[in-house]
Structure 1
């Protein structure tokens, strides 16, 4: 020891002294900024599991959950509208024939650009903002555009694996809805990125350049939850990847969402608002708006649909229409002796109300309950400082979603709280039911929890690559996960091992955006602007809506949305279809030399007469 470590005691004293005067990572970054940036990029590759939806510190918001009756034969009470990754041409044409007039105009506009781009690489890109209230079919338009764009751009690539269309979303569940990726994983953007854009390291950049060398179109869903910082990084990443300073690297952007729904987390300012804190306002000068107004989701309940449209834009002091007031009050649980189904999805504003409901449901199960304690290990400079018998008490501000203590039982409703594998649907927020909990030597931490997810698509790949006992057929094995974080107020790093699950009979309004449900019990206590509309519009029909703590003053929007959206330029869709400019009072002839398959598309031609 004296020969190889002659100054061990002095080094330990110096190390302890450094901890009190400096942040070692910041010091290393100052000495070797390029090396530190590459280290961060590599860390991001290994551990892109946290979406920034975990930063609702002041709101105490839990994760996304959908509800399904656990009895065999019942249908899911809450469903994620997922896009089939591989659809046939016949299925795609059926989807396109379902487009209403406005949706078809949007599709024609984008498809014409795809055709022009495939013929001429010099065609200018577009930046479109497709908006509309909940249920207006925005996701349906995305599916049609995805299919057509990939089909057209396939001619330009050398391999079928080359990516030409990239679909992104802020949350893992929203990304899964459109068969895409989270913004963080798709473009290697750290969820904790600062406002000032930091370029990607060369090694990671080369990987993305190869992957996206034929990229032509980026679709960003749930754009209302994207912050100015994220959009700045998307802008910069695409410029880096394509090696050009043109807007978004000369890649077209289709942004889809509704600013009347939930805003970004930090800062909570929608993209359509002026942003003085950034050098360049990317949104306002570039994006052109198209609004869908015909509601498709509640098309069998026209009165309910019309009410939702009015509530979407209702001002805070604006009185409710008499008919809307009567409809809402008719669904009050307290006043009308309504009894909500016991397994209906419950929506709350605060995390404590969600936890209270979940604990009551857990206690009602007739199965053994387990309390799983997290394994916490403190580390400094790669060295283990302390292995804790009792885990740290953590909050959302401590930058970890893994719980100190987790209560589980067979038949418990749970959801994933980490992006284990977004491409396989194992993303932050997908719901399911615990079917088995297996331990090994330790009775504290299970080696695996078998979860039957509501969607068969979730974990489909995992089920084929891992052994699953016959009595757990259809389930997905969820194993303990490790995350590193800093406990608030401390300088060292803690690594926590815990099951990436959370009880989820109830959810918050924040995390139900992007889903639909047949039945929901909605508590209006504490709801802020836009939240009531988001909650109410998740239900597909009036009879499935149950209101608790009813307070009509909680139903209001952000009044500045309308004025700021009105400032956006409108996208001209008329040029996409020349037939729309023809005077239909006169006769005209369509001549085409290739009519072999005309009989198959005569219905499509008739639909363009409008």
Structure 2
């Protein structure tokens, strides 16, 4: 009789998500392609926990060396405050069940925050570890969980919603769940590089192997390299964030490419398609011709029957009902005199007594460059405000921008004490094996940012300059980055800056009308079933 295979416990000390795993597949996901990964297999859970306890998690304090004159280290000395009701994650926690660790992973028996605090004590201004550091997933609302279930069941789904309704939170939760399924090959993409960074993926153009995608379909296929061809043939699920910034013509080209390499009869050749975005935010870039939205494509209706298009309703980013109402009216271009007065009243300086400046948002890159150039001096650089991508907000309070400072340490090296994990961006082949990866501290200068790059961010303190607003949804995207009126300054507001696409409004209304008819039909069906059995 063959001997039963001994159970093993896999301890990941340094990896994407350090901890104890009960199966090799889950552990391998955390270390595959991660620079400097440390892990071991043990015969008992106690031995594995002892190994983990011998050194703190890497996701709180990371080491990077720099050439030094013996003068300084990088130290994020602004304490990360306790999470408040301004955080969409804490608000969701009040409205839905707490999240659990990923399947196959347990919470370590040892509290590593004490180790991290001890390591940080070597610095004069240590930053306390946030209490939520071990919460691996933010909790989801019931509507978000329903969308998650349908996606995991294999449905093609498009989900949308106004700013702050948790689209990015849901998308990240979905990505984590899908990537745990070893039998499913998932492609995580977005329409822009910044959006791809936020979800830990690549641009849709890069994944598809189509360059700019401007050539005819037959040429795109003919000049496509073998790696891209294999990706098309082997991918099971394709996720696209910010699909609202893609042209309808591109969607149809991708549909034809998918059917060419796979199944001619099914949209995208049978790949499961999950789209996320808000068409009332920033539109596709147009060079003079009328804008063609993704929902204008021939493939859209075949991909997404009405029941497969979901609008998230609960706003988590803002809690002020007056502000939420104003934002929704901005989104739909239905401003009233009261809304005008509210936005004009925000043209006043914000209180900077806490030492944190507001992030400046501009419509045009040249305005951002002007501000950054003005601030970029040796002295200002030492006090530079930086942005941490929103992806890390589920672990740390990333919206209280820290201040980068330099202070004396030991000669020969500079060791930064940084309260965010290093970010690894990987390029995978068709078999999801890492071909190349880059690990960096994800900091973006936050003196000024373009509105396009701010899409998806949540900002506690922001100054919006609408003087150069020129496109649909631009003013709405900028103002909706704020969590509340107290932390929002609006300059050069006039109602003419609120621009909304009538084409999108008409399509959105059609979608809402169809939903009402569906609800009415279902209610009537219930009555008939009850009456006639």
Determine if the alignment matches structure 1 residue 509 to structure 2 residue 526: no
Distance 1:91 1:80 in 2: 25
Which residue of structure 2 aligns with residue 98 of structure 1?
140
> Cα–Cα, structure 1 residues 455 and 574, in superposed 2: closer, same or farther, change >3 Å?
farther
Determine if the alignment matches structure 1 residue 537 to structure 2 residue 480: yes
Question: For residues 175-196 of structure 1, what are the alpha-carbon distances to aligned partners after superposition, in whole Å with 9 as ceiling and x for unaligned?
Answer: 2322322112222120263354
Does the Cα contact within 8 Å between 1:432 and 1:454 map onto a contact in 2?
no
SS at match of 2:464: strand
Determine if the alignment matches structure 1 residue 237 to structure 2 residue 257: yes
SS at match of 1:515: coil
Distance 1:144 1:551 in 2: 38
Residue 459 of structure 1 deviates from its aligned partner by: 4.3
Unmatched 5+ stretches in structure 1: 1-68, 115-125, 155-159, 275-279, 368-408, 417-430, 437-448, 463-474, 479-500, 587-610
Determine if the alignment matches structure 1 residue 325 to structure 2 residue 340: yes
SS at match of 1:248: helix
> Cα–Cα, structure 1 residues 450 and 189, in superposed 2: closer, same or farther, change >3 Å?
farther
**Structure 1, 249-258 or 306-315: larger mean CA deviation:** 306-315
> Cα–Cα, structure 1 residues 79 and 237, in superposed 2: closer, same or farther, change >3 Å?
farther
Question: For residues 522-580 of structure 1, what are the alpha-carbon distances to aligned partners after superposition, in whole Å with 9 as ceiling and x for unaligned?
Answer: 011021331110001111122111112232331232222111334459589999xx9x9
Determine if the alignment matches structure 1 residue 248 to structure 2 residue 268: yes
Which residue of structure 1 aligns with residue 160 of structure 2?
131
Determine if the alignment matches structure 1 residue 550 to structure 2 residue 515: no
Distance 2:208 2:417 in 1: 31
> Cα–Cα, structure 1 residues 203 and 72, in superposed 2: closer, same or farther, change >3 Å?
same
Which residue of structure 2 aligns with residue 359 of structure 1?
373
SS at match of 2:280: coil
> Cα–Cα, structure 1 residues 106 and 96, in superposed 2: closer, same or farther, change >3 Å?
farther
Which residue of structure 1 aligns with residue 170 of structure 2?
141
> Cα–Cα, structure 1 residues 477 and 90, in superposed 2: closer, same or farther, change >3 Å?
closer
Using structure 2 for the length normalisation, give the TM-score. 0.58
Residue 271 of structure 1 deviates from its aligned partner by: 1.5
SS at match of 2:372: helix
Determine if the alignment matches structure 1 residue 107 to structure 2 residue 148: yes
SS at match of 2:238: strand
Distance 1:572 1:214 in 2: 38
Does the Cα contact within 8 Å between 1:435 and 1:451 map onto a contact in 2?
no
Does the Cα contact within 8 Å between 1:79 and 1:517 map onto a contact in 2?
no
Using structure 1 for the length normalisation, give the TM-score. 0.51
> Cα–Cα, structure 1 residues 461 and 330, in superposed 2: closer, same or farther, change >3 Å?
same
Residue 582 of structure 1 deviates from its aligned partner by: 7.3
Does the Cα contact within 8 Å between 2:243 and 2:294 map onto a contact in 1?
no
Does the Cα contact within 8 Å between 1:433 and 1:452 map onto a contact in 2?
no
> Cα–Cα, structure 1 residues 561 and 460, in superposed 2: closer, same or farther, change >3 Å?
closer
Question: For residues 186-209 of structure 1, what are the alpha-carbon distances to aligned partners after superposition, in whole Å with 9 as ceiling and x for unaligned?
Answer: 22120263354524458833x345
Question: For residues 51-106 of structure 1, what are the alpha-carbon distances to aligned partners after superposition, in whole Å with 9 as ceiling and x for unaligned?
Answer: xxxxxxxxxxxxxxxxxx9643256999999xxxx9613999996963234x3443
SS at match of 2:225: helix
Distance 2:526 2:137 in 1: 26
Aligned CA-pair RMSD: 4.8
Distance 1:552 1:95 in 2: 39
1:418-433 equivalences under 5 Å are none
Does the Cα contact within 8 Å between 1:298 and 1:304 map onto a contact in 2?
no
Does the Cα contact within 8 Å between 1:76 and 1:454 map onto a contact in 2?
no
> Cα–Cα, structure 1 residues 508 and 192, in superposed 2: closer, same or farther, change >3 Å?
same
Residue 229 of structure 1 deviates from its aligned partner by: 4.2
Distance 1:351 1:512 in 2: 12
Does the Cα contact within 8 Å between 2:77 and 2:405 map onto a contact in 1?
no
Determine if the alignment matches structure 1 residue 89 to structure 2 residue 89: no
Which residue of structure 2 aligns with residue 456 of structure 1?
421
Distance 1:91 1:571 in 2: 39
Distance 2:483 2:282 in 1: 19
Alignment partner of 1:350 out of 364, 375, 384: 364
Which protein is bigger by CA-based radius of gyration? 1
Determine if the alignment matches structure 1 residue 523 to structure 2 residue 488: no
Which residue of structure 1 aligns with residue 201 of structure 2?
180
Distance 1:504 1:187 in 2: 32
Which residue of structure 2 aligns with residue 11 of structure 1?
none
> Cα–Cα, structure 1 residues 563 and 203, in superposed 2: closer, same or farther, change >3 Å?
closer
> Cα–Cα, structure 1 residues 540 and 504, in superposed 2: closer, same or farther, change >3 Å?
closer
Distance 1:330 1:338 in 2: 12
Alignment partner of 1:168 out of 165, 189, 208: 189
Does the Cα contact within 8 Å between 2:158 and 2:276 map onto a contact in 1?
yes
> Cα–Cα, structure 1 residues 90 and 269, in superposed 2: closer, same or farther, change >3 Å?
farther
Does the Cα contact within 8 Å between 1:348 and 1:506 map onto a contact in 2?
yes
Alignment partner of 1:313 out of 332, 336, 343: 332
Question: For residues 245-289 of structure 1, what are the alpha-carbon distances to aligned partners after superposition, in whole Å with 9 as ceiling and x for unaligned?
Answer: 532011121211111111112457242565xxxxx7333554345
SS at match of 1:560: helix
Which residue of structure 1 aligns with residue 214 of structure 2?
193
Alignment partner of 2:78 out of 72, 76, 88: 72
Distance 1:237 1:355 in 2: 39
